[in-house]
Amino acid sequence: MLGAQLLVLTVGVLAAVAEAAGTCPSIENNVDYSGADVGSARSSSANGCCSICSSTNGCGAFTWTNYNGGTCWLKQSKGTAKTSNGAVSAVLQTASAAGTCPSLENNVDYSGADVGSVPSSSANGCCSICSKTNGCGAFTWTNYNGVVVVVIRNLSVSGEQRRLQRS
């Protein structure tokens, strides 16, 4: 038996959410969101970072600085806000940010229909990743053998639900 902690999301609205473009309505000037980095990208403006973050799996916020002609520091989440002269930060908002993942099931796995897998430190992070991934209708979050990953599922392909036993 698997000795893993699993959370599975099953909602039908995610297919529509996956196509939703993100917006950044609350830009904070002279603020740096420290930590939770998922990557970086070049952009001459903070407005460009919003678009880049929206199309990057796992990105939920960003900080823009003028480093190297303009750099977006992509973040999984807001993290700790710190004063930083010249930095511009914002949290990504999607069309259905609230209520996107209403139903988490403990110790349930929908086997098969895998779309892919990526690291995430929390089930909430998985929700964000799934909502931005084309074809994702569910996910399994697991800390199996010390590796925390999101297994992205496509529920339009028949998958088998199985309840996992803890060993």
Span 85-142, pLDDT tens digits: 999 999 887 644 433 565 677 777 666 667 777 777 777 777 777 777 766 777 777 7
Q: What is the pLDDT of residue 135?
A: 67
Q: What is the pLDDT of residue 57?
A: 83
Q: What is the pLDDT of residue 148?
A: 55
Mean of all residue pLDDT scores within the chain = 70
What is the set of domains in the chain, with CATH numbers?
6-19+96-163 (no CATH), 28-91 (3.50.4.10)
Nearest to residue 71, comparing CAs of 92, 31, 44?
Answer: 44
For residue 51, what pLDDT band results from cuts at 50, 70 and 90?
A: confident
Q: How far apart are CA 100 and CA 146, in angstroms?
A: 27
E strand residue ranges, 28-136 = 28-34, 37-42, 61-65, 71-75, 80-91, 104-106, 108-111, 114-119
Quick check: pTM over 0.85? no
Please check the confidence at residue 33 and state whether its pLDDT lies above 80: yes
Higher pLDDT, 156 or 26: 26
Higher pLDDT, 54 or 94: 54
Q: What is the pLDDT of residue 155?
A: 52
Q: What is the pLDDT of residue 98?
A: 39
Q: What is the pLDDT of residue 99?
A: 37
Residues of the chain with pLDDT > 70: what percent? 59
